[in-house]
């Protein structure tokens, strides 16, 4: 199976499992299920759960055992996007070419949809831990890694730095990298670590995969900043130049376009180099990293 076929196979598997987890119920609170599904199935790349499956496989595990954890990460990621789009945060009207959740369901329901996805993620992981399908210690450890990456020392911590920085408030590269290693990179790294843990990775394997995740996560964010300047609005599914309109400091405002592109190449190569211990088994993640560098949306 080539890269494109394996990627599609994994995305199909993830989407089918998400559909299974997020069944609509015809009860008084049925709108919350509609709001949750609206954002989950709004066209995401499934980058994080794909990495979860790939990391489990690369260390010799059964990737289907890691699927619930990958789906949980996708739910946490989606909740953060719903909340990020709210007027009190980034105030965005479109995401992936569709009206944002609060534009369709209202702000109150969007807040609840995000909360519900976060809770559902931990419900899924806890259920998996007690199911007997995989080693309970591995399951709990994977859940802990995901929880830490989602919280105040991870994604939320990065968002706090972003909010408190204000208009063009980040003037040095160290702080910018700190913010995005937490806001974006932490959950990407955790998605990989969780899969590797479920697969039974050793410490050196775990360290290598975590380093891969952090570097890819940072490169992914710098690429996002570039696309906001150079991207095609039709492909992106949201207005180009929103960072400038919102007066946000970005890697592009700090380094310029050419140095940003150079940094992406450096980080991607570092990510690829970190997989050296896996030899040929790292081919899928290596190709995935290269695809992310070249993406146009």
Angle of helix 63-84 relative to helix 3-21, nearest 10 degrees, comes to: 70
Mean pLDDT of the chain: 92
Phi/psi for 172 (5° steps) reads -130, 150
Tokens standing for 59?
A: 């260390």
Q: Which residues pair with 99 in a beta bridge?
A: 94
Give the number of other Cβ atoms within 10 Å of residue 128's Cβ. Answer: 24
| Whole-number Å distance between alpha carbons of 191 and 55 | 9
Instruction: Report pLDDT digits (tens) over 189-248.
Output: 999 999 999 999 999 999 999 999 999 999 988 998 888 887 555 544 555 556 566 667
| Whole-number Å distance between alpha carbons of 77 and 184 | 9
What global pTM score does this model have? 0.92
Q: How many domains does the chain have?
A: 1
> The CATH number of the domain where 208 resides is what?
1.10.600.10
Tokens standing for 27?
A: 């009860």
Instruction: Report pLDDT digits (tens) over 256-274.
Output: 999 999 999 999 999 999 9
Instruction: Report pLDDT digits (tens) over 78-126.
Output: 999 999 999 999 899 999 889 999 999 999 999 999 999 999 999 999 9
For residue 230, what pLDDT is reported?
Answer: 77
Which range of residues forms the domain containing residue 191?
3-294
Largest Cα span, the chain: 54
Phi/psi for 89 (5° steps) reads -110, -105
Q: Once rounded to an integer, what is the mean pLDDT over residues 14-18?
A: 98
């Amino acid at each position: 199976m080539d890269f494109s076929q394996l990627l599609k196979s994994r995305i199909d598997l993830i989407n089918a499992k998400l559909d299974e987890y997020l069944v609509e119920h015809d009860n008084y609170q049925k709108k919350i299920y509609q709001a949750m599904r609206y954002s989950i199935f709004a066209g995401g790349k499934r980058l994080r759960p794909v990495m979860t499956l790939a990391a489990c496989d690369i260390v010799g595990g059964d990737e289907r055992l890691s699927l619930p954890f990958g789906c949980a990460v996708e739910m946490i990621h989606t909740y953060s996007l719903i909340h990020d789009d709210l007027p009190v945060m980034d105030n965005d009207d479109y995401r992936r070419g569709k009206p944002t959740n609060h534009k369709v369901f209202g702000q109150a329901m969007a807040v609840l949809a995000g909360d519900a996805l976060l809770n559902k993620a931990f419900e899924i992981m806890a259920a998996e831990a007690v199911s007997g399908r995989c080693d309970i210690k591995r399951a709990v450890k994977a859940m802990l890694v995901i929880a830490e990456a989602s919280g105040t020392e991870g994604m939320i911590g990065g968002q706090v730095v972003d909010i408190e920085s204000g208009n063009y408030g980040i003037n040095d590269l160290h702080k910018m990298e700190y913010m995005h290693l937490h806001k974006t990179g932490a959950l990407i790294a955790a998605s990989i670590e969780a899969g590797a843990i479920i697969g039974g990775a050793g410490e050196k394997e775990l360290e290598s995969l975590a380093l891969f995740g952090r570097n890819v996560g940072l490169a992914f964010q710098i690429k996002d900043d570039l696309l906001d300047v150079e991207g095609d609005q039709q492909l992106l599914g949201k207005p180009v130049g929103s960072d400038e309109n919102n007066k946000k400091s970005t890697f592009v405002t700090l380094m310029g376009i050419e140095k940003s592109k150079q940094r992406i190449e450096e980080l991607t190569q570092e990510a690829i180099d970190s997989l050296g211990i896996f030899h040929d088994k790292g081919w899928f993640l290596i190709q995935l990293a290269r695809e992310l560098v070249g993406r146009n949306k």
